[in-house]
Structure 1
Amino acid sequence: MGWLSDIGDAVSSAASAVGDAVEGAANTVIDGVEDVVDGVVDTVQDGIGSATDWLCKHGGVVGCAVGNFFGGVLDGVLQGFQDLLNDYFNILRDVFGIVGSLLRLDFPGVLKGLGDLFISIFDFGIDFVRMATGGYIVGGIVKKFKRSALIRFVDRLVTERFGDDPDRLAEVRSKIGLDGGRFGFQLPAEHRVCVMDSEDVDLWRMHEDEELDLYAMAGLLSFDSFALGSDHPNTVVKSVGDDGTDNWWPVTRWTISKYLESNGEAKRLRVYAMSHRVAVERQALTSRKLDEIGVILDWNDGDEFDGFRAETTQEIAGIEYDFPSGQLETLLGQPEYDRPPGVNCTLVALAGFKLDNFGRVAGRDIRECEDFPDDCSTPNRTDRCCNTIDWRRSSGVIYRDVYPEYIFKYVLAHEIGHYLGLCHCEHDGFQNVMFRPDILDFFDVGLLSFYWDSEPHFSLKDGKNAWRFIVDQLLPCLIDEEEVSIPADVESRVVSSRNSCAVVREPAERTNERRKLPRVS
């Protein structure tokens, strides 16, 4: 039956090549146009934001109110226009994705594409109604007034914290844009997409043991599984050339078949947890969400014009494919991650394959709700949350891609919210980025905010509590590290943004044996 299998692989490979060409060409054009639209709209919105911030600083209460109102109207109209265009682009992507899946004989992909198409059309309808009834305008105005209130709060907070030292206060105010420039806590961020290389990981054995399905992960016809991609909806499989670089053309069923038949000897493959386009979309969305609480994420690979940028990856061992998230601190403590314990002023965000949950933060001691202590070290919190730096552990976040992305694309923003001091407590409705399913209240009055907010948001209360955490727990990121008191009972190194920005762009050398991680006590 070997020759029949070869014929089937050849036919499937030819069809998939056509499917990849159609879908790839369409996505290239759509992505390019969308990047231009987003770039123009974002630039105009930044200009409006700068103007309203200036009015609030120099125009008094009346000038600030007028600026926020009219700036909010313009910002809301632009946001509605941008969202409708993005919905339209998503519909086009879904249509071409269905065509590509059909040609690749990827029937689960066809069903997933139909589901995505339905969601995109539904989202377009909702956004159209919101635009037609003024919801976007209301949302733009609310956003401007919320931002002004947050800036005033941060102004008072840093004045109270550093008022006894005018030079230090001036330094901090300048660093976070209170005296000019863009307001916000500058947070360098490294996004690393996990990848497995068949030279170091026995992917053929994992496929044989049904830990994964290489055909399905490549979006090809598979007789081994039939899933809608709930575990890995946007994975990418690439064949590797003799020079060690990924081949630009998509992998075929024939290539994967030969790799499997030879027990990994005939071909070399790499499997990525997430496509580059999806990774960039997650980063751009997360940047927009964190900007709501005055945090400016500076991603290592950028979050626009993704077709012209490289992608930072993190090679992992097979044991880390289905990863127990409770061991994230141990993983980040390994040399290739360069994450010393204590304060890190550069965020590391890993896009993983499979987790025992949707995402996790490392290096934070979180006590909330009923466990909220009376003596939390961060003063004046208003959310029954005590989130502090765990000085013994390495910090960072990990998340995975989950279908449907319409619901789960906010996981990265959620985990970074934990990284910046936020908790689940008092976030009962799914209008909150920080909600948790087991405390979800479908009758929460805050759900009405979806009329003017087109997606989950961080509240003004979130912003205030995040800044309380930043000023108290991330003090080394605001002032010189030499002047920060480290807990006497902890032997750890405080790292500032000046010396914690190393990016692992080349995978560390690995052995072919699967590595077991020690348990975290």
Structure 2
Amino acid sequence: MARVCTQVDVWIEEQISKPVEEWENQQQKKCKDYPWYDPRGWVCWFVWVLVKVVRWVLVTVGRWVARTVCKIVAAVVDIVVGVLGGLWDVVAGIFTLDWRRILDGLIKIGATIVQGAINLVRIFVLCDTVDFIRGEFDERALRGHVRGLLDTRYEGQARADIADAIRLDLGAFGLRLDATAYRAFLDSETESLTEPGVPNLVALHESGAINLKELCGFEYPQGFWNRKRYKTLKKGVVVGGGGGGELDNPIDEDELDTYLSSRGTAGPKFIVLAMRDGVLETKIAAAEDKGMQLGLLLNFNTDTREVSEARHIVQRGFDQPGPSASLVQFLVSRLGRTDRTDASAQTPPSLPAAEAAARHELCHPLVAGVFKYTDGLRGLAASLEASSCQDRRDASGATFIDNFPDVVWKYVPIHELGHCFGLCHVDGLDRIMVSSRQNTLWTWSLLWNWCLRGEPYFTLDEAKSTWDYIIANFDGECLGVKPVVIE
């Protein structure tokens, strides 16, 4: 629901504030045409100032009211939906004797109530109002920072095109980017390349390269708290259910045993998705919402990609050599990203063309939900260009896994995308870019920031760093420069 409130705010700026601001600019130009002693000019300037003041007051107050009402409604709706969803899991777990689902339901109920209570308290003690005011100053500062970056790199019509595209002066500020979130999946019918006639999943399971029972959600070798919400789905007729309107037709453990013991000759045909539909949607919503704090208006579409190689099913973590190189290979071979060093992939073969294609893909961010890593990693990113903490890679993109509860782990995709824009790890559980592997979770400002923000956040400095990376590395077309038409 937080994303809905953000979208409402953007709509107000785009559909209400921007047209009035455009009229103000036109009126200002007319007023300048009058000599200073002309009474018509005095009236013109009076009307211009009056409209500007009224517009600023009404739009600002209107946005605050809309935001406050929306957040109250969102908090209540989230509590109701979360509690009902948790109760569904508890009841279903009792009837199916699934204690893990019972515990998940109880955790979901507790986490939903706590987060909802925090959100409501923040609103009623005016912490959210203070956050709104802070956000207005931060946005103004970020606009000024970007304006300076553009002035040093672009001029003339190119600069005007970019300023208009990102709403630098009028409307909802931000770089509009179409992004893609993939989910990896396994197919029980895909044939093994090493054992003709045998399903690939059976061959990999028997060789020990993967544990299919784990990937189907029946075993938890990494521990209960590191289990994932994988989704099995029988091919053919699909029925509704799942406690959230999600389509379900899962296999059970006996059916999986039959599939494995018969080496694929018996049992249902099925696929396994790296996470449930609702899980991916939750992570995407968090990414779109928090991306606004960086001046990014992300619009995600979703897709799936089959993975059949063991190295793509269980991806390298930092306990293995070359995790970043392995990630780039996955991005290129399975998700279609361009390898900047592969001239042969271009027509005609050209290294500059490969470099240009890889750079152009920066304006189409990509994340992929995968099954697991070899260690306890939650996500991994490849930044095309170097920053103070990121190495230069041959392709851009990120992968992530699912973890429960969502209130903690839904920010992993936007965290990894932050790395794709050159951002670094920081201290503090209240920060999106925190890393429990490299940084401390506690900071003295944590409690105040949690009251002020309510959720993990990006800072103004991180937003500025993001735009430093964007202006330095994105091509003009990505930023909004219109192609020159030669007649």
TM-score over 0.5 for the alignment?
Answer: yes
Is 1:45 equivalent to 2:9 in the alignment?
yes
Look up the equivalent residue of 1:260 and give its one-letter code.
L
Residue 178 of structure 2: aligned partner: 188
Aligned length: 409
Look up the equivalent residue of 1:421 and give its one-letter code.
G
- Equivalent residue of 2:381, what SS? strand
- Equivalent residue of 2:181, what SS? strand
Is 1:239 equivalent to 2:234 in the alignment?
yes
How far apart are the structure 1 equivalents of 2:220 and 2:441? 36
- Equivalent residue of 1:333, what SS? helix
Report the alpha carbon displacement of residue 187 of structure 1 after superposing the two structures with TM: 1.8
Distance 1:157 1:428, change over 3 A: same
- Equivalent residue of 2:75, what SS? helix
Deviations 1:410-451 (A, max 9, x none): 111111111112112xx3212211122232252332541211
Residue 290 of structure 1: aligned partner: 291
- Equivalent residue of 2:140, what SS? helix
How far apart are the structure 2 equivalents of 1:83 and 1:63? 29
Asked whether the 8 Å contact 1:196–1:318 carries over to 2, the reply is no
Report the alpha carbon displacement of residue 335 of structure 1 after superposing the two structures with TM: 6.2
Report the alpha carbon displacement of residue 400 of structure 1 after superposing the two structures with TM: 0.7
% identical equivalent positions: 24
Look up the equivalent residue of 2:72 and give its one-letter code.
G
How far apart are the structure 2 equivalents of 1:54 and 1:464? 27
Is 1:133 equivalent to 2:133 in the alignment?
no
Mapping of 1:102-117 within 5 angstroms? 102-117=94-109
Residue 457 of structure 2: aligned partner: 457
How far apart are the structure 1 equivalents of 2:91 and 2:313? 30
Structure 1 stretch 415-424 or stretch 151-160: which is displaced more? 151-160
Residue 430 of structure 2: aligned partner: 431
Look up the equivalent residue of 2:157 and give its one-letter code.
D
Distance 1:119 1:43, change over 3 A: closer
Is 1:360 equivalent to 2:360 in the alignment?
no
How far apart are the structure 2 equivalents of 1:89 and 1:228? 28
Is 1:347 equivalent to 2:356 in the alignment?
no
How far apart are the structure 2 equivalents of 1:61 and 1:366? 44
How far apart are the structure 2 equivalents of 1:480 and 1:74? 34
Look up the equivalent residue of 1:142 and give its one-letter code.
R
Deviations 1:114-165 (A, max 9, x none): 2222222222222232233222222233223322332232223212321xx3
How far apart are the structure 2 equivalents of 1:419 and 1:481? 25
Distance 1:339 1:91, change over 3 A: farther
Residue 203 of structure 1: aligned partner: 201
Look up the equivalent residue of 1:433 and give its one-letter code.
I
Asked whether the 8 Å contact 1:79–1:136 carries over to 2, the reply is no
Deviations 1:455-510 (A, max 9, x none): 11111111111111100112342266999xxxxxxxxxxxxxxxxxxxxxxxxxxx
Report the alpha carbon displacement of residue 205 of structure 1 after superposing the two structures with TM: 5.3
How far apart are the structure 1 equivalents of 2:429 and 2:404? 17
Distance 1:138 1:45, change over 3 A: same
Residue 491 of structure 1: aligned partner: none
Residue 309 of structure 2: aligned partner: 317
How far apart are the structure 2 equivalents of 1:472 and 1:62? 38
* TM-score normalized with structure 1 length: 0.69
> Over alpha carbons, which structure has the higher Rg?
2
Look up the equivalent residue of 1:431 and give its one-letter code.
D
Residue 152 of structure 2: aligned partner: 160
Report the alpha carbon displacement of residue 393 of structure 1 after superposing the two structures with TM: 0.6
Report the alpha carbon displacement of residue 210 of structure 1 after superposing the two structures with TM: 7.2
- Equivalent residue of 2:368, what SS? strand
Look up the equivalent residue of 1:170 and give its one-letter code.
A
How far apart are the structure 2 equivalents of 1:463 and 1:363? 16
How far apart are the structure 1 equivalents of 2:370 and 2:299? 21
How far apart are the structure 1 equivalents of 2:113 and 2:237? 44
Report the alpha carbon displacement of residue 297 of structure 1 after superposing the two structures with TM: 1.2
Look up the equivalent residue of 1:280 and give its one-letter code.
E
Distance 1:148 1:72, change over 3 A: farther
Deviations 1:217-243 (A, max 9, x none): 556xx5x65887544432101122499
Residue 355 of structure 2: aligned partner: none
How far apart are the structure 2 equivalents of 1:269 and 1:330? 27
Look up the equivalent residue of 1:350 and give its one-letter code.
A
Asked whether the 8 Å contact 2:427–2:443 carries over to 1, the reply is no
How far apart are the structure 2 equivalents of 1:330 and 1:215? 27
Distance 1:38 1:96, change over 3 A: farther
Look up the equivalent residue of 2:269 and give its one-letter code.
R
- Equivalent residue of 1:84, what SS? helix
How far apart are the structure 2 equivalents of 1:78 and 1:479? 32
- Equivalent residue of 1:192, what SS? strand
Asked whether the 8 Å contact 1:108–1:226 carries over to 2, the reply is no
Distance 1:418 1:331, change over 3 A: same
How far apart are the structure 2 equivalents of 1:80 and 1:408? 23
Residue 475 of structure 2: aligned partner: 475
